[in-house]
Amino acid sequence: MGIATVNPATGEVIKTFEPLTDSDIEIRLQKAQEAFEQYRKTSFEQRSCWMSETANILEARKEEFGKLMTLEMGKTLKSAIAEVEKCAWVCRFYAENAAQFLADVHTQTDASDSFVRHQPLGIVLAVMPWNFPFWQVFRFAAPGLMAGNVGLLKHASNVPQCALAIEKIFLQAGFPPGVFQTLLIGADKIAPLIADDRIKAATLTGSEPAGASLAAAAGKQIKKVVLELGGSDPFIVMPSADLDAAVSTAVTARMLNNGQSCIAAKRFIVAESIAAEFEKHLVEKYQTLKVGDPMLPDTDIGPLATPTILKDLAHQVQVSIEQGAKVLIGGQPLDQPGNFYPPTILAGIPLDSAIAKEEFFGPVAMLFRAANIEMAIQIANNVPFGLGASAWTNNPLEQEKFINELEAGAVFINGLVKSDPRLPFGGIKRSGFGRELGIHGIQEFVNIKTVWVK
């Protein structure tokens, strides 16, 4: 299909787009470079005004942008509107804090004065996914633009209208032309862009293969990259946990974004003594979830974003069954138009099977039982990913053990794993490297320059 809006709830092709030609790309690259030469000289105060206005636009038109997201990738409208609100939050956060985060840091040495100055790098290429089509972009763009960089967005090909809308938002907010541009291009254009001397760095949120490809291309050019890739986050429940709270949060943690989130809880590891009760309540909660039109307010789960994702998820479930998994609920695509897959729970997947270590990108939960905390941590860490982890216990010693021993970029105790503008976000192992958000995120794409004066 190429670059097109295809309604995942119906399969209807809404709008198609012609990819940019090489000459189109060159024009935008040159425009970005020229914009950077002037934009880098703007003050934090001026950038803050523009970024605050960006937040105002997002808040004023959140229903409009929410409907666009739902139309293009199928998340529920209520969650899409919440996503726009979160984008406004990250814009305001960096509008208010960027100057402080990037202020000179003085250190006493043998110089009359010595300090660190943070300066922008230039054009940063952002390769972004379809699952959070506004949030993933703004969590890069807000700190990136506040630092004085300019952005080029290569968005996922199934959310072109979201990509174009975001470019317009920054222009309407007052940012100079060329500071943020959308490139409607295919994946085959990424490596040539990385090779261009005007591109100084890149950031990618997406699949492990996409991240490896970008990192390889950037490595050849010795260019900085930040990668936020896949995850198969554990959700561990110990006997001392508030079981009702854990079960309720487990549903939200798995079904977020129709199950299509890198930080969704995907593997539920439950202490043996409470496993049967946890499973019973989880199945009961799943039975109440409504699958259907994502535009309706009472819908809990909309369609998966593409037919390919639906096919891949159904295949993974079938392989799990063949390897010994028991289906507690769901387990088959819904026989209706659109890319719908029901809430599904798999139990008894062999721990040593390859499928137990894979990421399921949809509303499918895997249940495992652990005899003790050591086994729970072993199961949790026995995957190639290390993005987030949620652990439920009211035992302080167990909490400390989880914090220290879970292999993840974030550990949440008695809570849902989530991104927050105030805290760094990212993973370890094959979930990527580098950080977004917080002070760490804005400092990823700057020259940390040492200055020594005597």
Q: 221-235: string of b/e by CB count within 10 Å (b at 16+)? A: eebebbbbbbbbbbb
Concerning whether 162 is annotated as a catalytic residue, the answer is no
Distances in Å between the Cα of 57 and the Cα atoms of 11, 62, 152 are 31, 8, 21
Of residues 162, 262, 358, 436, which has the active-site annotation?
Answer: 262
Answer yes or no: are the C-beta atoms of 239 and 277 closer than 8 Å. Answer: no
- ∠ CA(8), CA(14), CA(16), 5° rounding? 110
Of residues 53, 72, 228, 359, which has the active-site annotation?
Answer: 228
**Rounded Cα–Cα distance for residues 143 and 109 (Å):** 30
What would the DSSP string read from start to end of 136-205? HHHHHHHHHHHTT-EEEEE--TT-HHHHHHHHHHHHHTTPPTTSEEE----GGGHHHHHHSTTEEEEEEE
Dihedral sign from CA coordinates of 355, 357, 361, 364: positive
**Rounded Cα–Cα distance for residues 398 and 123 (Å):** 45
Say how many C-beta atoms besides its own lie within 10 A of residue 447's C-beta: 11
Say how many C-beta atoms besides its own lie within 10 A of residue 327's C-beta: 16
Concerning whether 228 is annotated as a catalytic residue, the answer is yes
Tokens of 19: 């990819």
Residues catalogued as catalytic: 228, 262
